[in-house]
Amino acid sequence: MNGTEVSWTAFDKVAELRCGPLSAHISLDDLTVGITNLKWSQNGLSGLKLFRFSSESKLGDVHIRGQDLIATYAPVDPRHAASQVYWRARHHDVQRAVGIELVISMQTDLLECSPHCVVFSSLPCMEVLLAGSFEISAFHSIPFPGRTSVNPEIEPLQLFVVRLLHQPLSFAQLIHPADFTGTEADRAEDSNDVRLRSPLFLSEHLEKGVIRRARMQGWFMPLKNDLETAVTLARAFVEEPLPLTA
């Protein structure tokens, strides 16, 4: 892993990431837009929209700390929780992969509220594979068109690998098992795009003075040996110590 290859620039409510061969933009004042304008080795990854939030928030403070871009948000609806979002990028030299971690912290000044939010990713794909464990043999292809839902009570771990359309790349995504409350993958019959829908803090109640965090990671990697790479990076993500956040 090479931290010197991670660069964030924030200007006019837009942040730009450069990490190894990957570059991307984040619209800081509109979390429903997500991560866009993605390029790999200067080649555009058309149609990709990563880590889009389901609801709007009011942008507060933005700052950069090392490999992290950090933004705080107030809720549009005062009955909802305030949030702090970390985007954390890493270049994995050995695997020739780039990872983006999303760390969402929720807190409230109310006696009680719901911190529930949903994160979406949309990707043009050739194939989507899913594994319920960190074993190559556990992967199976998801049939499309249609919708596949992952029940955390049956499979407390989910690792998706999306083989991108017209690209020699794959994208893998994992919600940390401690934060996993289910994921849906669906694709319409007339579309090449798969949508990953990931609810967080589902059915939870947040009390005043309590901070609740959830973590998920996505990795871009070469198509060759993508399942082995995804398993290696996902296992490292689950086994690493919890990050220190403020």
In a domain, residue 199? The reply is: yes
In a domain, residue 187? The reply is: yes
In a domain, residue 245? The reply is: no
In a domain, residue 136? The reply is: yes
> What global pTM score does this model have?
0.90
Range of the domain at 33: 3-239
What is each CA distance from 117 to 31, 35, 181, 183, in whole angstroms? 11, 17, 11, 13
Instruction: Give the integer Cα–Cα distance in Å for 30 and 164.
Output: 26
In a domain, residue 41? The reply is: yes
Instruction: Give the integer Cα–Cα distance in Å for 164 and 167.
Output: 6
Q: Which tens digit of pLDDT belongs to each residue from 41-92? A: 999 999 999 999 987 788 889 999 988 999 998 877 766 777 889 999 999 9
More confident residue, 118 or 107: 118
Q: Kindly report the CATH number assigned to the domain that includes residue 66.
A: 2.70.98.10
More confident residue, 240 or 138: 138
In a domain, residue 195? The reply is: yes
Tokens of 50: 């990563």
In a domain, residue 95? The reply is: yes
Total domains in the chain come to: 1
In a domain, residue 244? The reply is: no
